[in-house]
Structure 1
Amino acid sequence: VKGNIYTVGVTSAVGLRDWKNMKNDSYHPSSLLKWAQEAGKGTGIISTCPVTDASPAATYAHAAYRKWQTDLEMKNDIESGIRDENVSIDDAMKDLKDISVQMIENSPGKGFKVILGGG
């Protein structure tokens, strides 16, 4: 699936820092690890970089910007981008999860048997 530069686990319909379209599940392609879990296989990730970095995150997360690894990074970035819009930061952040939260709360990340990363 083709995605845009610096995005993770979303189709090209989601632009860089496009928090609105990031909320749309139809722009979240499935992953090989999700398919493996659906087939009853044990899954996990091992990486020499942090597990929330773009390469490992692409197996489980859907983010409009690869740097949205924590809620603070995501909130600060979105807040600076909505200054000209009639939307509050709380409304913008509603239903958005950063990469680390997606790993813990969403499939396939919450189903991983192994999570090892460096840093």
Structure 2
Amino acid sequence: MDSVTAVAAASAALVAGGALESAAQEAGRAGWAGGVRLVERIRARFRGDHVAEAALAGVTRAPDDADARADLERLLAVHMLRDRAFADELRRAVDEAATATARGTGPQVSAALIKNATVFHDKVEIQGDWNVS
């Protein structure tokens, strides 16, 4: 998987994870403030692209919908290829989320949200019970 695809998959997973967290908590009480900035930056980049706006809305409405996440990933990748600055911003947001996660203050980008995407990043540390089925 190339870098753009990996960042798009991780970004879509962060958007979905943030939507799930928002549904479970009061708005604004999320542990990682970068999630709000990430969604707002994506929303600003997608403005005027009705298909992309609908994809973002679909994931925020139904974060468990694999098809909605796949659509968002695809459109994020397209916009990243068109706009290098946007791609760099998403990479920084994903890196920030990974750093926050390592400190225990950020979102968890889980394999359940990413599904079949392979994301190569830093070392992986697993805590707690680990069940493979």
What TM-score does the superposition give when structure 2 sets the normalisation length? 0.24
More strand by share: 1
More helix by share: 2
What TM-score does the superposition give when structure 1 sets the normalisation length? 0.26
Greater RCO (CA < 8 Å, at least 6 residues apart):
2
